[in-house]
Structure 1
């Protein structure tokens, strides 16, 4: 059945060359655990991408129930966990995945640094990777406020105070994020939701596309 569907699509848009270009490429020996025990460190990038996909899918599900206003935000999260089938599982995946994806991206960054994979000709991909890390941290920070509980409120206040301490532009950054430099309220929640769901994911998709294109052109970096 799947072969018939594939053949039907292939007859119309000729996807076989595209698929072969993506799938048919040699993998260096040093990233094969059968030859090198240290090859597992080259899995951090793939694991980061896998967790990111889980975050995107679970986040899409959460937005079907979440209400981004200060009156209903917490109630919508409570409803999702208590009354929606498998809601507590999906929210748990998104909650713990938010921490795990940062950890895996940090380990991936360490692997790239200590194996010298940031050097020529991969300098641009290193910069893209650092920007991806910054976007992921932004997603973690903006998503923390969305449940609208006391822990999220005070953690966000600390984060905004840190942003305000940036020389020259700190107050502008805080106002941009919070909407009001004096209180965390409705504007703050709305802006964090918009940044978390629209702006940062858009940047994430663009940077990931550039990252994968560069990897395909430059290949997997060699061993240390």
Structure 2
């Protein structure tokens, strides 16, 4: 005597309907990643997993003082983006209202003072972390083949970071910002060949004023973040293509064997000569 089919619960029926729907299959074009094929499909279909290197050497993952400085810089860039969008709702790039906007943001807007300080300190920390990241890359020789192009992209990101900090410094429109940017832009005419045109592009007139504030604002919230995002995408893609993050070079085989032998004997490893 054949047994009757087990009756499905309402939750099982709804789940089955959702999983087999055209909308679900259009979003998730692969199965559960339990087989090598599905794992490959998941990686190829996800932009974040696709950017991540397939293999990462243990030497590159060794925790050091400058470990993950690139990732910290990217995290700070995301913090700056989110807090910057919040600040844009309360800031008007006009010389007669900019300073009042900042004061009102800090005193009258809920969490305004906190968000502004997060934006400010994240900007300072990003300059420090990007600088340390470049020093680490240079010290480990990660600019050498096959990573020359990614080194150039990293230099571009470094200058984007500096320009973001420079353009954002003027936006509060207080005395410190005004005279700091005045001194900074007055150095531009002394640049060989392109000195005066660069000054006109930055200042937009005979002195720092409304035109300068507009130019710095557009560069700070549109041009430079867009350029940074594009360079970041290329940077991450090249890291994957170049075989992952480059860590410190491994010690020579003989030296490594000697250290292991000394460690087994309970002796302190001697310094490399």
Pairwise same-fold verdict (TM > 0.5):
yes
State the match for 2:184 in structure 1.
159
Bigger CA radius of gyration: 2
Instruction: Return the offset for 1:25.
Output: 3.3
Q: 1:87 aligns with which of 95, 112, 116?
A: 112
- Structure 2 counterpart of 1:11, from 25, 32, 47: 25
Encode CA deviations 1:150-186: one digit per residue, 9 max, x unaligned. Answer: 0000000111012221012111111111101x21111
| Residues 1:200 and 2:224 aligned together | yes
Conservation of the 8 A alpha-carbon contact between 2:164 and 2:224: yes
Is 1:27 equivalent to 2:82 in the alignment? no
Q: CA RMSD in A?
A: 2.0
3-state SS, counterpart of residue 68 of structure 2: helix
Q: 1:37 to 1:189 in 2, by over 3 A?
A: closer
Paired residue secondary structure (1:31): coil
Q: Against the structure 1 CA distance between its residues 103 and 61, is the aligned structure 2 distance closer, same or farther, given a 3 Å change threshold?
A: same
> What's the secondary structure of 1:41's corresponding residue?
coil
Number of aligned pairs? 215
**8 Å contact from structure 2 (residues 123, 165) kept in 1:** yes
Offset at 1:24?
A: 7.7
Task: Write out per-residue CA displacement over residues 64-115 of structure 1, whole angstroms, 9 at most, x where no aligned residue.
Answer: 1101000110111111110111000100011111111000000000000000
Structure 1 position 222, deviation (Å): 3.8
Q: Is the 8 A contact 2:185 2:199 kept in 1?
A: yes
2: CA distance between counterparts of 1:14 and 1:166? 54
Match of 2:139 among 97, 114, 120: 114
Structure 1 residues 11 and 70: alpha-carbon distance in aligned structure 2, compared to 1, 3 A threshold: same
Matched, 1:212 2:236: yes
Pairing partner for 1:178 from 198, 203, 220? 203
State the TM-score, normalized to the length of structure 2.
Answer: 0.74
Deviation of 1:142 after TM superposition, in Å, equals 0.4
The secondary structure found in structure 2 opposite 1:125 is helix
Does residue 1:189 correspond to 2:213, yes or no?
yes
SS of 1:204's partner is helix
Please state if 1:62 is matched with 2:87: yes
Q: Give the structure with the larger helix fraction.
A: 1
Q: 1:29 to 1:190 in 2, by over 3 A?
A: same
Whole-Å Cα distance in 2 between the matches of residues 210 and 22 of structure 1?
A: 10
- Maintained 8 Å contact 2:95/2:209: yes
